[in-house]
Structure formats: C-alpha cells, structure tokens
Chains A and B, each alone.
Chain A
Amino acid sequence: MNVMLIDYGAGNLTSVERALARLGARSQRSHSPECIAGAEALLLPGVGHYAALIRALDERALRAPLLDALQRGIPFLGVCLGLQALYETSEEAPELSGLDLLPGSVRSLPATVKLPHMGWNQLKLSRPSRLLEGVSAEAYFYFAHSFAATNFNSEAVALSNHGADFAAVIEKQNIFAVQFHPEKSGEPGAQLLQNFLRLAA
C-alpha cells in the first residue's frame, strides 16, 4: 500500500510520514494533479488556516482530481483541516467553497471555552466505526483546532466535545476523516491509522 500525502505547502507532514512508516506503509508527498489521479490511497493532512488549504488545492489544480478519485472509490483519510475541507463551507473563510462532499458548514467552537481546543480529549461513538475498531472507548486523542463541524449529520460516527459537540470521526463509504491528529495520538492513533491502511488495502 502506497499512501499519497497531499502536500499543499503548509503544515508538518513529517509526523504523518513517520507514523505510517512505523506501521510498515509506504507514503509519498505530492502536489501534482497526475499523482493524485493515480493514487491507491489519499491522505489530506492539514493544520493552520482553512483558507490556505482551500486556496492551495485550487491554485495547484488539485480539487478536480481529488474529487474524481473520491468518486471512483479511492480510500481517503482527512486529518484536522482535511476533515473540515469535506463540508460545504467554513466560518473561518466564508468566501471560499469547500469540497462539498458533506452537507453543512464548519463553525467556530463557542467562546465560552478556551480556544484553540488544544490537547487530549475523548470520543463518544454514535454508531459502530471501522476506523475505531480495536480502540478503547476511553482512549484520548490529540486535538488542536478552533473550528469544527458542529452541525454534523449521519456521517459522524464519533463526536467529541469542547463547548459543543462536534464531528470527531467521519466515515462515508471510502471517505474517512478525523478532527484530531492520529499521528500525534500515541497508541490509539497508531491503531486508527492501521485500521485505515487495512480498509484501504
């Protein structure tokens, strides 16, 4: 299995690469439309500003090949911003269009709690999850974000909470995404990545 990491020019891809390598998977960074079109599995990591990710996808002409690959059933894992990008829009950059694969918008978490939501939090399962198979219900995952999918629908298989419930794990056919960083979430994170690799194989 070779996982194509979509490199849109921001963020720290090294930790994702290392986490995959520990699990025996090969990965490759790419920002070329051709490579994305030919990928066996795709991973869209992301930290920072929503606008930077969406703009980079469009400037590098990656939106069309990415949507096409997802349409063809290529396994996809979005991490953090890579989850948020799946919705129609985000309050962080309302003028931009997301990938629009899921209905709804990404919004700021409420100002009643400290933001960013930074650190280790738990999940509550909405329905059985393929990504979380073998992961303890008590497990903690590492989050670092201020915006989240708070008006989630049935795509959210697990929620977390920081001032409001939000989609923490998304599964819709071949499309998987997590709001936390599995590559920085110790053993449970490694198990989740392992599950993705198995599902993608």
Chain B
Amino acid sequence: MSLAHRIIPCLDTDGARVVKGVNFVGLRDAGDPVALAARYNTEGADELVVLDIAASRDRRPTFLETIRRVAAELAIPLTAGGGIRTLDDARSVIRAGADKVTVNTAAVARPALISELSREFGAQAVVLAIDAKRVDDHWDVMVRGGRDSANRDALVWGLQGVELGAGEILLTSVDRDGTQLGFDMPLTSAVSRAVSVPVIASGGAKLPEHFAQIFSEGAADAALAASIFHDHVQSIRKLKQYLSARNIEVRLPC
C-alpha cells in the first residue's frame, strides 16, 4: 500500500471553451470543458485541472460558470487557476466548486499571497504553479503565460513557495510544453527532490514511456497533460495499465 502516482488532465480554457497551443502561443479550440470533464472522470483521471488562460477580468464570470459546470460532473478533485490575484479571487473559485487553486504570476509579484491563501484554505488547497525555462545552468521562472522572465531561480522559488505555505507545485517546462518530446526530466527531478511537497510534472508528454520515466527517474508525484488526452492520442485507462504493468503504483479505474 502506498500513495498512487496521479494522472491529471488539464483543461486550458478561454472563457467557455477549451483551447490549446504550442509553447504557450498559437491557440486553437479543443472542445467543451464539461464534456471533457465528464469523460476524464469516467476514464480514471485522478484529478482535473482547469486553467483560465485568458484570465481577464471581464471574462471572470464565464470562467466561474465553467468551474461550476465542470465540478458538477466530477467525483474526483478539481483544481482551478489562472488570474488568481487575491484571496477573494480564490474564494470565488473555491465556492464555485474547486478544491484547490493555483497561483502563478500574482504570487511571483506578491509572494505573501501564498501565505494568505494557505492560512485561509489550508496548504492542501494551494498549488504554486511555476513555469520554468532553462537558462544556462539553471531554470528561470517565467510569468505572464510563459512570456516574461521573472529573473528568479525556479528551484529557489519552489522552496520559498513551500516555506510560504504552498502544499503542492505544478511545474511546467516552458521548453517542453506542447513539443510532445517528453517531460523535462532534469527540471522535474531537481525540483521534486528538493521540495517537501508533491510535484506535478507538466509539459511535453506524449508517450506512455514519458510518464513511466517522469515517475521513476523524475521523482514526480503526479503528471499533467492536455492535448494528448483531448485528442485521444493517449487514453488514461490504457496509460495506467501500462504503468501498472511496469510496477508503477497507479489507481486503476474499475
């Protein structure tokens, strides 16, 4: 008996639709969030993440409505994020049915946000999303959807975020995101072995081997992917069977 490695599909939404892009740009429509949520709930996803990539103030009500409708489909945990800048933003997302919130750019700008959220909702509800990009011998934290460097070391930021009260890290490799070349092993391994909280690896997944590697060598606690699940390149059920056959502990769907 031990904690299972989690497979987490991610819905990047722009208002009421799921979108996808390569290296954070070039977005196109990828479906209805409610239909996808229902499918993943049935297929054996361990959690679902819904991110508002537009994160604009005027489209906030649409995003909250999406959260409500998605949450209604799920018997698994739901994480929501994108554009969470204040305690009130987080509260509205949690009231809409999310169990956890992710913070990214706003936490870089004002790290105390992490502590405020952690005190209010508990560390288990606060996911620090870090978008990291390789620069020379280290990884830089990127903000504003992966566009700008925050001139901060990703490993140091991860440790600081945990110190401030984050209960989990969603670690996206900007270099690998959308490439389908596999997860960023050195990045994930470095962060996951350094911090005391679970790390969700994200960016670059395509093949079942990518998941097996990131769980074994990469020390990831969970792995997130989007388009390969949306487009039926991988089925969560078959992926889990593959991992289970290689003695990687997963929760097999009934």
B98 in contact with A160 (CB, 8 Å): no
Q: Which of B10-18, B52-60, B121-129, B146-154 contacts A (4 or more CB under 8 A)?
A: B121-129
Interface residues as binary, B98-134 with A (CB distance below 8 Å gives 1, 0 otherwise):
1100000000000000000001111111000000000
B251 in contact with A144 (CB, 8 Å): no
Chain B residues within 8 Å of A, Cβ to Cβ: 1-4, 6, 41, 46, 71-72, 74-77, 94-95, 97-99, 119-125, 167-168, 196-198, 221-222, 251, 254
A119 in contact with B4 (CB, 8 Å): yes
A68: min CB distance to chain B, Å? 29
B48: min CB distance to chain A, Å? 11
B6 in contact with A120 (CB, 8 Å): yes
How many interface residues does A have (CB within 8 Å)?
A: 39
B75 in contact with A162 (CB, 8 Å): no
A119 in contact with B1 (CB, 8 Å): no
A59: min CB distance to chain B, Å? 16
A119 to B99, CA, bound (A): 13
Q: Is A19 part of the binding interface, using a Cβ–Cβ cutoff of 8 Å?
A: yes
Instruction: Given contacts A120-B251, A187-B254, list 13 more A-B pairs with CB under 8 A.
Output: A48-B121, A115-B197, A116-B168, A119-B4, A119-B198, A120-B46, A121-B1, A121-B3, A124-B1, A140-B251, A144-B167, A162-B3, A185-B75
Chain A residues whose CB sits within 8 angstroms of the CB of B99 once the complex forms:
12, 15, 47, 144, 184
A155: min CB distance to chain B, Å? 20
Chain A residues whose CB sits within 8 angstroms of the CB of B125 once the complex forms:
47-48
- CB-CB under 8 A for A146 and B124, given A119-B198, A184-B99: yes
B251: min CB distance to chain A, Å? 4
A124 to B2, CA, bound (A): 11
B168: min CB distance to chain A, Å? 6
Which 9 A-B residue pairs are closest in the complex by CB-CB distance? A48-B122, A144-B124, A140-B251, A120-B251, A120-B4, A122-B1, A116-B124, A186-B75, A184-B77
Within 8 A of B (CB), among A136-173: 140, 142-146, 160-162
